[in-house]
Chain A
Amino acid sequence: MSSLAAFSRVSTRRFKINFHLLGVRACGLATMGDGGAGKVTVQDVEKAAGRLAGHARETPVLTCGTLDALAGRKLFFKSENLQKSGSFKFRGAFNAISRLITSANQNPPPVVTHSSGNHACALALAAHQLGVTAHVVMPSTAPQCKKETVRGYGGNVIECVPTEQARVETMERIAQQEGAVYISSSQHPDVISGQGTMALELLRQVPDLDTVITPVGGGGMLAGVSLVMKALNPHIRVYGAEPELANDAATSLAQGKRCPLSYYPETIADGLRINMGPVAWPYIQEHVDDIICVTEDEIKNAMTLIWQRMKLVVEPSGVLGLAAVLSDSFKAREQEAKNVAIILSGGNLDLLKLPELLSL
């Protein structure tokens, strides 16, 4: 009996259904072939890089003299808005589905997730490219353009009422019905190692790198990037950047234990509203030097700078790193940071909303 089939049945019947818990179970049972449910290592990330080669883009690192002057240091922008499907999420999704196919022998199962954002698009595109069916549960209130993008990439959209419970229950129903494997947007080890490939690229693309900063939502990117940086060059400082209004990761780091918010925060950085998850947390706790929080105005200011000076379409969640580097607290603390890599995580947004998102 394939262990995958066992996983599908077991996960939907035996375990209490809970968004983050399901992610943990999915991770534990879906990690096969590399010693079971173990920690993600640099070797896993290097293997992920091999799988992504020729599929995910090695995105360019762009610079901007004006922003260097504002920041008082050299900034290197890893432009994941230019990644396939419009965000870095493609890396983790592609790696996770690739590994699923390898361990399935024949007839890989379909995949399922619930997301109204970048992971939905990334999973649909990665699945399409790998010849696997993707089912994406999306709340009925998700932007029409996102639903159309997922369909355009060949994904099957299943709408549900816009509550956390409905998303999870609908997803489980589909998983059971279709024998589909759940791929979490940030808590799956193969997703974390996929996101970590950005760090490998940065180490090649930016000589004398001393600092890296990434936005943090569920924590998959920060977990993957930080574990690689600290494994290969522990002198490099790694920071997360979060909206003050959604500061669960910063609070967790300060308290030494995971402190998820009990409500859904309102921030224009819509990709960062979810809590940092339990699988990403241990990596963040171990490897991240600090998490910097920024105001909504600082996010809008960073948006305006990137759109106007760098000519890049980046969504609000994606500019958190720049907002953090330009903040007074970063400038006060980080005298030594000379060569700072900032990951611009994605560029998927509704253009009609643009006037609200810029400080003009």
Chain B
Amino acid sequence: IERAAGTLSGHAVVTPVQTCETLDVLAGRKLFFKCENFQKSGSFKFRGAFNAVSELASGSGKSPHRPQIVTYSCGNFGCGLALAAKIQGATAHVVMPNNSAECKKQAVLSYGANLVLCERTPQGKATKLKQVQSETGAVLTSGGEHSDVMAGHGTMGLELLKQVPDLDAVIMPTSSGGMLAGVSTAIKSSRSEVRVFGAEPEMASATADSLRTGERRPLAEDPGSVADGLNGKLGALTWPYIRQNVDGVFTVSEDEIKNAMRLVWERMKLVVEPSGVVGVAAVLS
């Protein structure tokens, strides 16, 4: 994670931490909001994507060809990867469900990546991924199942420890678990007394269920939460870190997510997507 921080330096934004007295009063505690909506490509995913592309590019340094990377993404990881690839002179292929948010499709295209739409089914995804790999030789880089991605995301934990000196707890949305795995590792490695929590929609509570039973549990197919970025499966690679480092996962209703979104837009004046406010919803629950 520290090495990833070096790789990201000068490329990823060290995003500001914002506060809001109204929300402190509602929560009954001091809240510090790490604003990854301000991150390059509009989400924290850029961190993991950039680190992964960098490791790939340095690994294939002798090759005359541009490194080719492919991923399957509901949105943000695809955008992050597209931008990271553009900056580093690699080619990104993003396989995205055809009913993804239009703005996410447009963002991928605007960053110069190759957008490949697929059916929002496991078969649709697998078919297209295989097709791109065989046609281009692109390396598969999963948004959740890659240690370089986890390390990149973990850099947020390092920044938080510096930006909020008396930190005693951290909470973040979780789905495939890349952010939760990386950040919990960063935090617990240097300050094990800081509590680390995940936050999930009730409708997509795979991580909460897994922690409760001690076994990685599958997610229902397309749970359909308004938090459209959190409909992914808890990954096999991220699960061990989460099981070891995470103190708990809170679940919130769709209404709680919408209420939190309204508060963040109206009181904090920040444009944050539904998935992005699930931590806020959890803190207010």
Contact A311 B270 (CB under 8 A): yes
Q: Is A264 in the interface zone, CB < 8 Å from B?
A: no
CA–CA, A347 and B264, complex, Å: 12
Shortest CB–CB separation between residue B266 and chain A, in angstroms? 7
Contact A308 B103 (CB under 8 A): yes
Name the A residues within 8 Å of B16 (CB-CB).
60
CB within 8 Å for A347 and B269 given contacts A60-B16, A62-B38: yes
Contact B269 A311 (CB under 8 A): no
Contact B38 A86 (CB under 8 A): no
Contact of A311 (CB < 8 Å), options: B21, B37, B262, B266: B37
Q: Is A27 in the interface zone, CB < 8 Å from B?
A: no
Contact A82 B103 (CB under 8 A): no
Interface centre among A65, A313, A314 (most CB of B within 10 A): A313
Contact B18 A82 (CB under 8 A): yes
Shortest CB–CB separation between residue B116 and chain A, in angstroms? 24
Contact A82 B269 (CB under 8 A): yes
Name the B residues within 8 Å of A81 (CB-CB).
269
Name the A residues within 8 Å of B21 (CB-CB).
84
Number of A-B residue pairs, CB cutoff 8 Å, is 34
Q: How many residues of B contact A (CB 8 A)?
A: 16
Q: Is B271 in the interface zone, CB < 8 Å from A?
A: yes
Q: Is B272 in the interface zone, CB < 8 Å from A?
A: yes
Q: Is B274 in the interface zone, CB < 8 Å from A?
A: no
Q: Is A236 in the interface zone, CB < 8 Å from B?
A: no
Q: Is A357 in the interface zone, CB < 8 Å from B?
A: no
CB within 8 Å for A311 and B38 given contacts A81-B269, A351-B265, A351-B266: yes
Contact B270 A312 (CB under 8 A): yes
CA–CA, A236 and B272, complex, Å: 35
Name the B residues within 8 Å of A311 (CB-CB).
37-38, 42, 270-272
CA–CA, A308 and B79, complex, Å: 14
Interface centre among B16, B269, B271, B272 (most CB of A within 10 A): B269
CA–CA, A311 and B265, complex, Å: 10
CA–CA, A138 and B272, complex, Å: 31
Interface centre among B18, B37, B265, B271 (most CB of A within 10 A): B271
Contact A312 B271 (CB under 8 A): yes
Question: A72-114: which residues lie under 8 A (CB-CB) from chain B?
Answer: 81-82, 84, 86
Shortest CB–CB separation between residue B30 and chain A, in angstroms? 15
Would you give the 0/1 interface string for B23-57, flagging 1 where the beta carbon is closer than 8 Å to chain A? 00000000000000110101000000000000000
Shortest CB–CB separation between residue A69 and chain B, in angstroms? 11
Contact of A313 (CB < 8 Å), options: B40, B42, B269: B269
Which residues of chain B have a CB within 8 Å of any CB of chain A?
Answer: 16, 18, 21, 37-38, 40, 42, 103, 262, 265-266, 268-272
Which residues of chain A have a CB within 8 Å of any CB of chain B?
Answer: 60, 62, 65, 81-82, 84, 86, 307-308, 310-314, 347, 351
| A-B complex: 4 closest residue pairs judged by Cβ atoms | A347-B269, A313-B269, A311-B271, A311-B37
17 new A-B pairs (CB below 8 Å) besides A60-B16, A82-B269, A308-B103? A62-B38, A65-B40, A82-B18, A82-B268, A307-B271, A310-B38, A310-B271, A311-B38, A311-B271, A312-B269, A312-B270, A312-B271, A313-B266, A313-B271, A347-B269, A351-B262, A351-B265
